[in-house]
């Protein structure tokens, strides 16, 4: 078997592309396209790297479900013992439906509503990651009104450059997330004084698709300085949450392995005397990104004076990352044909926007009716999909060995307009 780089569970068998024990072209023929397909083994393998990194430590791995919130994907991680990092009331309901333990749920996000806070308190989540001083006051009011005590962790903005795309950088002073480093002590003192709050920990998250370990080490230094300062003022922290953001291989990227990164981080923690704390980490993309592919059919080949276009049936509503971040996804055929001529194409979708592109300047041997796989599509694709141009969201399939299970039906126009009403 010939595995694809960065995708050990996607491989060639002869001239056909397979995921685990399932032929991808057969899935496309059975379920239609566009179609998202995920490898359960790839998800659990990525999770295992974090688990190895935490061996012998008190730790909770909270899957950052915004990366991919499909119920069956959540089930895989819940059954593997994960907690969850959520950012909305809707995400809370999803993890509860998937069988998650509410006590292992942490609630992040800059704009929590009172209703979301109340629901989270009612089900008994593990912690609120508070992102502003104003939020502290509102959470205290909500908890007081329902006679509960809210466990809180303050998300600190350490002003560390994650060296990633500016749209997914979250730890700089100009970002909307977290409490400024210099306001941390005063904010914790206020939290400790509020009667319906219990200070539980400290939280830090600096960005996404990080491929260099140095920003994590820098952020850890800044956070541990704060922990020392807080505890010198009598504020004890039960847990330290270092967020997520570890990148994946989209185009030859070489992020550190999760277990290797945490070995470095724990060496620093041990040296500073904090190795016995309860640690939390919030991986998302690194658990699911390379576990998923999007299958799509070539509709037309359109030559042009300056560019040739390969028009496929997947679009920016299915795969929004290229349009949003100019992101790269590798694109490969589902069947290798030795005698097919190749050409250089922009791979684009049917949506009525010039920003509707999947890949620029790709060398492909493609004909109308051929099937392609857009790789590394497990994160921030289906979870960000839309109905733009009244396009239905794609179906999803989960592969487990030689078994393929439909985990989301293709969305129909009836599904899309169910809640709409015509005028009288």
pLDDT digits (tens, 9 = 90+) for 96-130: 999 999 999 999 999 999 999 999 999 999 999 99
Q: How far is CA 396 from CA 28, 39, 391, 393, in A?
A: 11, 11, 15, 9
Report the catalytic residues.
Answer: 352
- Predicted confidence at residue 167, as pLDDT, reads 39
E-assigned strand segments in 7-58? 7-13, 16-19, 22-23, 35-39
Q: What is the CATH number of the domain that holds 373?
A: 2.40.37.10
CA pair distance 301, 348, nearest whole angstrom: 10
- Pairing relation of β-strands 179-180 and 239-241? unpaired
296/235 same-domain check: no
List the structure tokens of 1. 């078997």
Of 220, 252, 283, the domain-final residue: 283
Name the helix (H) or strand (E) containing 226.
Answer: helix 214-232
Those residues of the chain that have pLDDT short of 70 are 1, 159-177
The verdict on residue 150 lying in a domain is yes
List the structure tokens of 228. 């020392």
153/277 same-domain check: yes
Contact between residue 24 and residue 38 where contact means Cβ atoms under 8 Å apart: no
303/205 same-domain check: no
Nearest to 358 by CA among 287, 294, 284, 303: 294
245/304 same-domain check: no
- Pairing relation of β-strands 197-204 and 150-157? parallel
156/118 same-domain check: yes
Of 263, 283, 303, the domain-final residue: 283
The verdict on residue 191 lying in a domain is yes
Q: How many helices (H) and strands (E) does the chain have?
A: 12, 22
Contact between residue 37 and residue 19 where contact means Cβ atoms under 8 Å apart: yes
30/168 same-domain check: no
336/382 same-domain check: yes
Name the helix (H) or strand (E) containing 43.
Answer: helix 40-53
Q: What is the dihedral of CA 323, 363, 299, 347, to 10 degrees?
A: 10
- Pairing relation of β-strands 7-13 and 292-302? unpaired
- Predicted confidence at residue 117, as pLDDT, reads 98
Question: Could you tell me the residue range of the domain that residue 150 belongs to?
Answer: 108-283
267/234 same-domain check: yes
Scan for tokens 């042009």, then name that residue.
Answer: 304
112/244 same-domain check: yes
295/278 same-domain check: no
Number of domains in the chain: 2
153/252 same-domain check: yes
- Predicted confidence at residue 172, as pLDDT, reads 42
Contact between residue 308 and residue 344 where contact means Cβ atoms under 8 Å apart: yes
Degrees to nearest 5, angle at CA 187 with 181 and 192: 140
CA pair distance 18, 10, nearest whole angstrom: 6
Of 228, 257, 283, the domain-final residue: 283
Q: What is the CATH number of the domain that holds 126?
A: 3.20.20.10
Q: How far is CA 344 from CA 35, 65, 197, in A?
A: 24, 36, 59
- Predicted confidence at residue 162, as pLDDT, reads 46
Half-sphere exposure of 164 (CA within 13 A, CB side): 28
The verdict on residue 123 lying in a domain is yes
The verdict on residue 102 lying in a domain is no
Phi and psi for 80 in degrees, rounded to 5?
-85, 5
294/271 same-domain check: no
Tens digits of per-residue pLDDT, 20-69? 999 999 999 999 999 999 999 999 999 999 999 999 999 999 999 999 99
CA pair distance 283, 264, nearest whole angstrom: 17
């Amino acid at each position: 078997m010939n595995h694809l780089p960065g995708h050990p569970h996607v491989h060639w068998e002869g001239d056909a592309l397979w995921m685990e024990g399932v032929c991808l072209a057969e899935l496309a023929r059975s379920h239609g396209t566009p179609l998202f397909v995920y490898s359960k083994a790839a998800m659990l393998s990525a999770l295992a790297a974090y688990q190895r990194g935490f061996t012998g430590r008190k730790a909770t791995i909270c899957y950052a479900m915004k990366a991919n919130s499909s119920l069956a994907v959540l089930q895989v991680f819940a059954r593997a013992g994960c907690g969850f990092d959520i950012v909305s009331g809707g995400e809370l309901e999803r993890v509860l439906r998937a069988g998650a333990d509410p006590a292992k749920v942490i609630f992040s996000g800059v704009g929590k509503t009172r209703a979301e806070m109340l629901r989270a308190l009612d089900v008994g989540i593990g912690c609120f990651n508070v992102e502003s001083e104003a939020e502290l006051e509102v959470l205290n009011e909500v908890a007081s009104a329902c006679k509960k005590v809210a466990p809180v962790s303050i998300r600190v903005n350490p002003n560390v450059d994650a060296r990633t795309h500016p749209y997914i950088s979250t730890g700089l002073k100009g970002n909307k997330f977290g409490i400024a480093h210099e306001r941390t002590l005063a904010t914790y003192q206020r939290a400790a004084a509020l009667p319906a709050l219990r200070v539980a920990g400290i939280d830090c998250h600096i960005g996404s698709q990080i491929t260099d370990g140095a920003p994590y080490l820098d952020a850890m230094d800044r956070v541990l300085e704060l922990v020392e300062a807080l505890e010198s003022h009598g504020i004890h922290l039960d847990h330290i949450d270092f967020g997520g953001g570890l990148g994946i291989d989209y185009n030859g990227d070489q992020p550190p392995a999760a277990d290797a990164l945490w070995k470095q981080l724990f060496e620093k923690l041990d040296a500073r005397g904090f190795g016995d704390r309860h640690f939390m980490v919030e991986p998302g993309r690194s658990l699911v990104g390379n576990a998923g592919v999007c299958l799509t059919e070539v509709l037309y080949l359109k030559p042009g004076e300056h560019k040739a276009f390969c028009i496929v049936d997947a679009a920016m509503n299915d795969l929004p990352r290229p349009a949003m971040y100019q992101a790269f996804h590798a694109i490969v055929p589902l069947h290798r044909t030795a005698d097919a001529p190749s050409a250089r194409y922009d791979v684009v979708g049917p949506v009525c926007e010039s920003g509707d592109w999947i890949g620029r300047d790709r060398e492909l041997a493609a004909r109308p009716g051929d099937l392609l796989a857009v790789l590394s599509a497990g994160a921030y694709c289906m979870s960000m999909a839309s109905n733009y141009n009244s396009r239905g969201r794609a179906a999803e399939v989960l592969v487990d060995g030689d078994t393929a299970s439909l985990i989301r039906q293709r969305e129909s126009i009836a599904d899309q307009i169910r809640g709409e009403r015509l005028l009288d």
